[in-house]
Every structure is written in C-alpha cells, then in structure tokens.
Structure 1
Amino acid sequence: MNMLLTLTIILSAIPVLVYMTYILAAITSKPKQYPPLKSLPKISIVIPAYNEEEVIEDRINNLAEIYPIDKMEIIVSNDGSVDNTEEIARSVLKKHSIEGKVLTHDRSGVNKAINRGINETSQDLVIITGSDGLFDKDTIPNLLGVLLSSDDIGAVSGDLVPVAKGESIFSNSEAAYRSIYGKICTWESNVHSTYCFNGPVVAFKKEASSSLNTRRGADDASMALSVIKKGYRCQYVPSAKFYEYVPDKFHEQRRQKIRRATRLLEATFFNRNVLSTNCGRFRTVVFPLRLMMLFLVPTLVFLSIVLWMAYLFTVNPIYSMVILLAIVLSVAFGSIRTNILSSFLIYQAYLFLGLFNMLRDVHVWEPTERIKI
C-alpha cells in the first residue's frame, strides 16, 4: 500500500469515527422525563431586535397568548433599528398591558443587546428569544419545567423547527440537519451538558449567568459555556419548540449559516479554558468531541476528498471524475428528497468556511429576510 493511500485512509477514518460516535449516541439516547410545573412562575423575556417591524407585533402577540400577562415582563432590546421596530413594540406592549420596556441604543450587535436587556430584567428566571419566530403553548412551561427541576441546572434550550416558503436543496438540508441535531444535543445533555443551544429559545437562572462577550462568539453557545464553567449544567429540551423561518435561497442561507458557524466556532475557541474546569464528563467527553466535530472534521472531510481524488487519478483518471460526480449528485439530490448525506456535506462546507471567517469581525451583521409565520 503506497504512502498516499495510507495517509488518505487514516485521515478519512477520523471524521467517520467522530460522526459514528455521535450517530450511535443519538440513536440510543432518549430525553429524560421531567414532572410538569405545578404553577407558572414569574419570568422576564428579552427580545433583541434589529429592523423587525415586519414581525415584532406578531412575536409579542404570540407571547401574550401563551403565557399569563401578569406573570411576565418583556424587554425589547432595540439594537439601533432604523425602521418602526421601536414604535410598534411599544404599541403592542401597551395594547396587552404587558409590563416591560423598549430599550433603544446604537447598533452594537446581538450580544450587547442581550446584555442590556438582561440588565433591565426584574425576575430571576429569564428567557431569551428571537423576534422573527413563534412559540407554541407548551414551549415556555416545558423549558421552565426542566430548568426548575434541579438546583444544578442553570440553563436550557429548546428545539428549532424550520419553516420555509418553498422547498430547495438548502431548506431541505436544514430539515435533515435539525432531525439529527436535537438528538445529539439530547445525548450530550444526558452525559452532562450541551452548549449547542438554539438562541431564540433559551431560558436560564440569572444566578448562573455571566455577561456575554460583546464582540466574539454566538450568544447562545457563549452563555451556555459560561453557565457550565460556573458549575451548572445546561440541558436540551426537545419538547420546547421555536418555529423559525429559514431562507430557501442560496445566498440568504449561505450568509446566515456561515455567520452562525463562525460565531459557534468563536464561542468554542474563546471558551476552551472550560477544559481546565471541574465540570465532569462535559470536560472529558462532550467538549473534546465538539472540538473535533467543529474544527478537525470539516478540514479532514475536504482534505480527504482531495486526497481520494488524487490517489484515484493515479490509478485511473476516470475514477477520480466518478468520485467528484458522485459528490455533486449526492448534494443535488437534497433538492429532491431530504437526506443526511447532502446535509452533512453542505454543513461541513459551512463550518470549513466559518474557520476562515473567524479572522473577520462578524459581531454586527444584516439579518436575513423577515417573513411572518
């Protein structure tokens, strides 16, 4: 066996082993069952917002319909919107007689907007949510039921349900990705904690939280990692749903996904000191696997493809072209039928591009198209 083939096999085996571990764990893990809340507590809800005039009214209406108005306050942290977000948000809060306020400040990014919102909250239980999606009636009770089930649980996150205007390879890949994402997070929660939260559906205890880095890292992952470093656990709640519009156009999804990948990579890298903390199997199992999944695997996937094509080219150039055609067809098939393979390749590309994007400052960005659900 020549050196090129040996190297190719070894490098190809690493991504396979990492993902086989996750797939096996996801298949065998089931969510823990928690007793329902006996009564609903008072909560604060923080909504970071930038140019959300199309959706902010529906968002606040949704919250008013699913949780007792006398048990919640809503803080809309208006991050320098140049449309009518502020006026609409104030009007809807007044219409429902909801306690809360709209904070307006210069454009500074979602992390700083969240910090400002949290600083204005009056309750010990805080929910962070997006302005461009909806909860169902069980979302908040299910989040709080898990959060309050144990003193050592400091934060929880729910499941993101993608809603698209139409079907495309990119909207289909999101559906396939989400089908396995939640199961992986459930397994990590069973081991100790997951930090791969869905930002628009997060709840936490203020005593367990810390201020977010305002320039680096995804708000949801950064918050979860800070909670874990303080000695608490972070749990995934698949029964708590957030319905979010996802772009079906390539340029929109590409921009959104690369930004999210970049900020997740940043949060992971800049919180790597979690490896020196005493947080049980999160430090010894979950975080090392995530480091490999996020940093090592995307690089090795594309390096392995190049090496396989180079090796097969030395055997027969036609074989190399067959491999390339098979990859293209696998990805293209995702526009016809949702499948894990096409989603895997697309998301490895997002992570790979995100690695290079970490060199840029992406803490402020333009949001994707807003659509009412």
Structure 2
Amino acid sequence: MVTAIPLTVYFIYIIAALTSKSKTPIPLENYPLISIVIPAYNEESSIADRLNNLADIYPKDKMEIIVSNDGSEDKTAEVARKAIDNNYLQGKVITYPRSGVNKAINRGINESSNDIVVITGADGLFDEKTIPDLLSVLLSSPDIGAVSGDLIPIAKGESVFSNSEAAYRSIYGKICTWESKVHSTYCFNGPVVAFKKEASSILNTRRGADDASMALSVIKKGYRCQYVPSAKFYEYVPDKFYEQRRQKIRRSTRLLEATFFNRDVLSASCGKFKTIVFPLRILMFFVVPTMFFLSIILWTAVLALINPLYGLGLIALIILIVISGSLKPNILSSFIIYQAYLFLGLFNMLRDVHIWEPTERVKI
C-alpha cells in the first residue's frame, strides 16, 4: 500500500500527460483594455527590461501598468518610473512598506482601472504571443475566469538542479492542460496569469501562493481556470543548489498552503474539479511525498534483512538516478528531487514564509 499509492497517482498523471493535447488559441480580432500588475521588491536590475519588454508586445494605448513596489530598499521605484516614461506607457508606481507579494498584488489590483488584469513578475520576459494567447482563451467563454501560461526556465549553467527544472516543466504543463480539459487547474505559474476582475477575490496576505490561491478563489466562485501552453514566460532559474533549494521549498510551501487553506473548495459547486482534479492534487502534494520516502525506508530495511548489500544497492541506485539528472534532464531524477521539495515544504508550513528574499537576478 505504501508503494502502491505513489505509483497509482503518478501512473494516472503520466497517462493524462501523454494523452493531453492543447488547442491553438484563436487570434484576437481586437485587443481589449488590460491592466498589468507587477509586484516588485528590490528589482532595480530587472524592472526596466521587463517594462521595455511589455511595451514591445502589446498596444500601449490598450495597456495600463501598475508596479506595486513592496518596500524596495534599492532604486526599483525610480527605475520603474523612468522606464514607464521612456516607453510612453500609461501607468504608475505605488510604494508601500514591505508586506509580501500577495498584499502587493492586492494593492495593484485595487489601483487597476480595467476589467481584465494580468499579473506578471519583474524579472522575466514575455514573447509577442503571450498576452494575446492568454486573453484569447480568457475571453473565449463567459465561464472562464482566469488563465495561466507556461513557464520556460532559463539557466546560466547546467546542474542536476537546473536540469531537474527543465524535466519537471516538460510534463508539468501537460498535466495542467489535462486538468483544464477535465474542468480547471489551479497550478498556475504566477508570472503569467490573467483574470477577469468579476471572477477574482482578495488574496490571503499571509498564507498560500498568490497564483494558486487566485485560481482556487475563481473556481469557488463558479468559474473555470485554464492553462494556455502557448503563452510563454521566460524566467531565470538558479543553477546552484542553495539558491534553487531555497526557491523551490518556498514555492512548495506556498502551494501546499494554498491547497490546505482552500480545501473548502470540496464543498463548492465545481463539478469534476472537486471530484477528480483537487483530490488527485491533495494526494500528489500531501500523501505521495510521505509515502515515497517511507517506501524507500521500508524497502531498504527489507532488502537489508535479506542481504545488507541489497539495501545499500537500493540507496546507491536512487543516488545514481538523482545524479544522472546532471548529465541529461530526465523525469526520474526530477521526480525524486521534487518529492524532497514537497516533503520539506510540509514541514515548512509551520513557518511564516509570506515574506522572502528574491533569488539572484540574471538578464535573459
């Protein structure tokens, strides 16, 4: 049973990923008015490039920019204002004391004046199709309340940790696409999210990832949340163990919090989301990591009773699988690493992680 549960859950997801195909969004005939909210903390080195990027890919007269400066201690606000002016953008910078990304997003949304809001990060890039494809799917049906796109990891060096991200992302979007076809996915990528204001709710400022919490609130209000693989966000990912471990455990913790503190979605009227998608995610996030490592311990003990070398051989095999990810991205190596992140994230839920220091910024 301990081994069967992880195998069964991931067998379902692998089949879902292999059989899931995404549709190409229909090109927009008219670009709608949108507000773009960018939460920022100490983004002096990246915010100008981000705003230059947005100015190049969407009509300036259809776009309002709101940089929600979360108590930056550098020149983020000054650089952002200058970039807004230099690009002749409609927008502003709002500055408040440091309080975390969720509150910064709430403040940005409150300051926005359009019915459609795009949330994005201050340290990555969109391509020319990102926003149009997001909006095409968002506006394709009145029951779609929010959409998210695909995150493309960019690393300045290769390691088992940066390669694990590439392998993880190769299947992540396919699972989210399958969940979207079933009903909805709430595993959004925070830097590439768009939603209708009428479908959104205020984010909990202390608990839960902003992207997952937003999606779950939309689903609870009776709307669907869709994944748009063609809408890309290019993001630098750390290649060093310490940096990636810190980032991934924080993200795992926030995703676990969003899932746990929005479990009342199980009492909402949201069809197959509450009967299929959400229960599977609960198993994936809370049960599988624990069962996975427990099964390793039990199998190691059983094999060691037969012959100590067998037990050592199992541990050596697992280590080799993880290390193999440094040579070539592969799902097995990524799976083991991400089970560790989720398992550590379970314990990290006991801490308050709504405020954190950003990882290293590198120009893409």
TM-score, L = length of structure 1 = 0.97
Which residue matches 2:320?
329
1: CA distance between counterparts of 2:40 and 2:24? 34
Find 1:31's aligned residue among 16, 19, 22.
Answer: 22
Which residue matches 1:189?
180
Percent sequence identity is: 75
Asked if structure 2 preserves the Cα contact closer than 8 Å seen for 1:257 and 1:350, the reply is yes
2: CA distance between counterparts of 1:35 and 1:361? 42
- Counterpart AA for 1:241: K
- Counterpart AA for 1:116: R
Find 2:195's aligned residue among 187, 201, 204.
Answer: 204
Asked if structure 2 preserves the Cα contact closer than 8 Å seen for 1:26 and 1:180, the reply is yes
Which residue matches 1:259?
250
2: CA distance between counterparts of 1:311 and 1:276? 42
Is 1:349 the counterpart of 2:343? The answer is: no
Is 1:43 the counterpart of 2:34? The answer is: yes
1: CA distance between counterparts of 2:354 and 2:57? 32
Which residue matches 2:208?
217
Which residue matches 1:6?
none
2: CA distance between counterparts of 1:229 and 1:363? 23
How far residue 35 of structure 1 moved from its aligned partner, in angstroms, is 2.1
Find 2:307's aligned residue among 290, 309, 316.
Answer: 316
Find 1:153's aligned residue among 140, 144, 150.
Answer: 144
How far residue 33 of structure 1 moved from its aligned partner, in angstroms, is 4.1
SS at match of 2:344: helix
SS at match of 2:2: helix
Which deviations, in whole Å up to 9, do the C-alpha atoms of 1:171-215 show, x marking residues without a partner? 000000000000000000000000000000000000000000000
Find 1:226's aligned residue among 217, 232, 237.
Answer: 217
Find 1:290's aligned residue among 263, 281, 300.
Answer: 281
Is 1:239 the counterpart of 2:262? The answer is: no
SS at match of 1:196: coil
Gaps of 5+ in 2: none
1: CA distance between counterparts of 2:231 and 2:9? 28
Asked if structure 2 preserves the Cα contact closer than 8 Å seen for 1:34 and 1:149, the reply is no
How far residue 15 of structure 1 moved from its aligned partner, in angstroms, is 0.2
Asked if structure 1 preserves the Cα contact closer than 8 Å seen for 2:100 and 2:355, the reply is yes
TM-score, L = length of structure 2 = 0.99
Asked if structure 2 preserves the Cα contact closer than 8 Å seen for 1:78 and 1:102, the reply is yes
2: CA distance between counterparts of 1:47 and 1:244? 15
SS at match of 2:55: helix
- Equivalent residues in 2 for 1:4-153 (5 A)? 10-153=1-144
Asked if structure 2 preserves the Cα contact closer than 8 Å seen for 1:146 and 1:156, the reply is yes
2: CA distance between counterparts of 1:287 and 1:116? 29
- Counterpart AA for 1:230: K
Which deviations, in whole Å up to 9, do the C-alpha atoms of 1:200-245 show, x marking residues without a partner? 0000000000000000000000000000000000000000000000
Gaps of 5+ in 1: 1-9
Which residue matches 1:4?
none
